[in-house]
Amino acid sequence: MKTSITLLKSLLFLSLCTLVISSCQDEKVVIEDVLPEQTTGYYSSSEQAHLNSILSLPTAGPFDYNVNVAREIAGSLGQTTINSDLATLGRVLFYDKEVSKTSAVSCGSCHKQELAFADDAAFSEGFSGAHTDRNSLSLGSFISFQLYYDTPIGPAPTAGFFWDERATSLGEQMAQTIANDKEMGMDLSELSDKLSSPDHMHYRVLFNKAFGDHNIYPNRIVSALEAFVNSMVTSNSRYDKEIIASGGINARAEFPNFTAAENRGKDIFMSNCASCHGSSITAAHRSQVNAGVLTVANNGLDVNYADQGLGEVSNHDYDNGKFKVPVLRNIELSAPYMHDGRFETLEEVVEFYSTGVQDHDNLHPNLKDNNGPKKLNLSPSDSEALVAFLKTFTDQTFITAEKYSDPFVK
């Protein structure tokens, strides 16, 4: 029906043109306005118009957000299907300051791509100017984020989100973060209403692509953010390239393209750090290290902690001073370090493990020897080697990938 009307109009236009040639220019503009929507790219012309002034998204269709990581790095866990329209919506929400109560901060304010989605302040500034209680955590893993924490290998417990693991799913983490009175201060229903208003037409377009209709609900907001965060895969560091080139997990072998110092650092790491942090290197390695994945531990930062971490959530003394064993991927970029950002550099972190581990009641056995806290007493060259190795986890592709970047037109 529409086509035949268009055809009629076109014929009419043509005949008008031949009859009144001088008026053709003006007439053409009018006629284009009443033509049905053109779908030239992925979005229709009117959808594109809603997006254009606000967002810079690929016009040919969304980036591919499916997770596809080499088997050598991720074992059998490297493939995750992610709806790319949903992740695109998540990307927009992630960088939208409107998501916070005062429109002052977005997720991206405290999770900056160039810093591996961490923040360079020890405590980040939230929507009201108040600061967070803990240091922002970097995002990105070598498999889907949720999967990384969630996949039980054998009888292993699953790990939660946040430094104290208080959120048991990524969705719960998102909801808590958006509502948090220091972070975004926003009620999810209020947010749904806000984003549904006519001055946010771009959201109607994006929700429609992701869900088939343009309605905005709290659970849709959460699942879009989840899809985006789950798609954040970092698996192209120099460390990863060596693992792939060497045909799989053979952590003890020397890597041909590493310097002597980096290889030395790798040995020190495998002997002293991998028992806790090994899972952040490869999934396969994680299952090799121990069936019971270590997700939280006390690493002896203090004898008395100002912040009890897991102990504040569980109220058990035996949990005091226990915090998430963090992912060390891109660790070079996510300074400052520890839950309170107390260390500015990796050199300071290594110095701490070398000489500074404190005899806390809950100090994990991996950091103890017969005489109490283990002192590695690394020589200056071994300390440098360990730092050099930690820097091989840096993935430039991840921190520059457009699909993870801020899509808002400034």
> Among residues 44 and 128, whose Cβ is nearest to ligand HEC?
128
- Closest separation in Å from C-beta 328 to ligand HEC: 6
Kindly tell me which of 94 and 203 has the beta carbon lying closer to ligand HEC: 94
Q: How far is CA 282 from CA 176, 218, 288, in A?
A: 29, 34, 10
- Measure the CA angle with vertex 89, ends 83 and 94; round to 5°: 120
Of 272, 335, 336, 339, nearest to 301 by C-alpha is: 339
CB of 175 to ligand HEC, least distance (A): 9
- Give the closest residue to 328 by CA, choosing from 239, 223, 219: 239
Among residues 206 and 325, whose Cβ is nearest to ligand HEC?
A: 325
Q: Which is nearer to ligand HEC, 43 or 353 (CB)?
A: 353
Distance of alpha carbon 82 from alpha carbon 78, whole angstroms: 12
Q: Which of 149, 154, 203, 152 is closest to 171 using CA atoms?
A: 149
Residue 134 Cβ vs ligand HEC, minimum distance, rounded to whole Å: 4
Whether 378 contacts 268, CB under 8 Å: yes
Task: For residue 163, give Cα distances in angstroms to 82, 101, 117, 190.
Answer: 26, 24, 15, 28
Separation of alpha carbons 173 and 171, rounded Å: 5
* Cβ-contact 210, 302 below 8 angstroms: no
Nearer to ligand HEC, 204 or 339 (CB): 339
Q: In this structure, which amino acid lies at residue 196?
A: S
CB 243 within 8 A of CB 282: yes
Write down the least CB distance from residue 118 to ligand HEC, Å: 7
Task: Enumerate binding residues for ligand HEC (CB under 6 A).
Answer: 94, 99, 105, 107, 109-111, 124, 126, 132, 134, 136-137, 139, 161-163, 173-174, 177-178, 183-184, 225, 229, 272-273, 275-277, 297, 299, 301, 323, 325-326, 328, 331, 334, 337-339, 349-350, 353, 364, 366-367, 386
User: Peptide bond before 336: cis, by omega within 30 degrees of 0?
Assistant: yes
The residues near 190 (Cβ < 8 Å, ≥ 6 apart) are none
Shortest gap between Cβ of 358 and ligand HEC (angstroms)?
11
Provide the phi-psi class of 372: left if phi over 0, else alpha when psi is between -120 and 50, else beta.
left
The answer to whether 163 and 134 have CB atoms below 8 angstroms apart is: yes
- The least distance separating ligand HEC from the CB of residue 405, rounded to whole angstroms, comes to 15
Smallest gap from Cβ 221 to ligand HEC, in A, equals: 9
Contact between 83 and 210 under an 8 Å Cβ cutoff? The reply is: yes
- The smaller minimum CB distance to ligand HEC, of residues 77 and 335, is found at 335
Q: Which is nearer to ligand HEC, 61 or 373 (CB)?
A: 373
- 61 vs 171 by CB, closer to ligand HEC: 171
